[in-house]
Amino acid sequence: MANVEVSLKEAMTAIEGALGVALVDYTSGMALGTLGGGKELDLTVAAAGNTDVIRAKVRTMEMLGLQDDLEDILITLGTQYHLIRLLRSRTGSGLFLYLVLDKQNSNLAMARHRLRRIEADLEV
């Protein structure tokens, strides 16, 4: 089991093309931890904004009567991928990992695989 700091460091070093990562509480929109980012990528602002994305998708699933789990959400920009992965463990309920990737220097399938593994090892 890994703590938040170790998990965020692993995401930044083990996932090729990672620009920033955050662990976010989607009930409050607050980032519990961030690593990377910068002037053009404010992870605390992105954490709050992506909370609204999750809430909207959950509402839509409820309105459609979908009885399924939301695993992740991918947002594709011109130069970046934004990956939102909801934590499914008992201790991670209400949290998500938010990963920003450089589109030119990343492998999306491998990033999703590694983020899933990081999630499995994360203890909050």
Of 28, 30, 40, 42, the C-alpha closest to 4 is 30
C-alpha span between 110 and 28 (Å, rounded):
30
Instruction: Output the tens digit of pLDDT for each of the chain's 124 residues.
Output: 579 999 999 999 999 999 999 999 988 999 999 999 988 899 999 999 999 999 999 899 999 999 998 999 999 999 999 999 999 865 557 899 999 999 999 999 999 999 999 998 888 7
Q: How far is it, in rounded angstroms, from Cα 53 to Cα 73?
A: 9
The widest CA-to-CA distance across the chain, in whole angstroms, is 41
